[in-house]
Copies of this chain bind each other. A is one copy, B any other.
């Protein structure tokens, strides 16, 4: 029933390749099916002005799509003169989600910026960005720990994200683009490795859904996040 032939609760193939760029303190290329996102974590020894002297670290994120990551070429946001509403919404979500898994006292007064750039898009780019972004963050923090710059690990539990939705009347896990563009209800679940919820966003466009369906989607999300967290752990040898 799904265009890809997958079962309703079947994720696409996930791979996470680490240390893909030489400059970033942490980096990975995450591939969830044909969605490929390059994630880098950049460490700076300062925090934003509103946090100065507070003894707390900061994690923030930025998101972008290469112009031809999509089926037809998108206008480059730098030439349009601003980030679009969708971009801003996504990067705020990524930053908020990653921060939920960070002990900012343990991180200390430093900032890590996670850049998530979509190289190739086939649905679910923001979820891949969160999942891969956490890996980049993990690797950058590992360096700080190894160097003795921080003493207690600020990343106590992984953070991962997966999309779910109602496609052709059925709850499905990890929508690809053909599903995403048809689904009347879809959204994202961001969770920790121990299944705590960080963010739920479930939207309908020209449709509605009920609590039973919401519960089925959350069951699917838990399954998906389990698999993603395993991939994160494998990639980071954790």
Instruction: Tell me which of B21, B71, B73, B200 contacts A202 (CB under 8 A).
Output: B200
- Asked if A23 and B77 make an inter-chain contact with CB atoms under 8 angstroms apart, the answer reads no
Q: Chain A: how many interface residues by the 8 Å CB criterion?
A: 65
- Asked if A87 and B96 make an inter-chain contact with CB atoms under 8 angstroms apart, the answer reads no
- Asked if A42 and B200 make an inter-chain contact with CB atoms under 8 angstroms apart, the answer reads no
A198 to B211: give the CA distance in the assembly, Å. 11
A115 to B70: give the CA distance in the assembly, Å. 13
The stretch from A9-17, A60-68, A124-132, A145-153 touching chain B is A60-68
The stretch from A78-86, A167-175, A228-236 touching chain B is A78-86
Question: A138 at the A/B interface (Cβ < 8 Å)?
Answer: no
Question: A139 at the A/B interface (Cβ < 8 Å)?
Answer: no
- Asked if A79 and B69 make an inter-chain contact with CB atoms under 8 angstroms apart, the answer reads no
Question: A181 at the A/B interface (Cβ < 8 Å)?
Answer: no
- Asked if B200 and A120 make an inter-chain contact with CB atoms under 8 angstroms apart, the answer reads no
Tell whether A197 pairs with B209 under 8 Å between CB atoms, given A66-B117, A68-B24, A85-B89.
yes
A-side interface residues toward B, CB under 8 Å? 21-24, 27, 34, 38, 40, 42, 44, 62, 64, 66-73, 76-83, 85-89, 92, 96, 99-100, 104, 113, 115, 117, 119-121, 187, 192, 195-211, 214, 218
Extra contacts, 16 of them, besides A23-B68, A40-B67, A77-B78 (Cβ < 8 A), are A21-B68, A22-B120, A23-B121, A27-B68, A44-B73, A62-B79, A64-B78, A76-B115, A78-B82, A81-B81, A81-B82, A89-B92, A99-B206, A197-B210, A199-B202, A200-B202
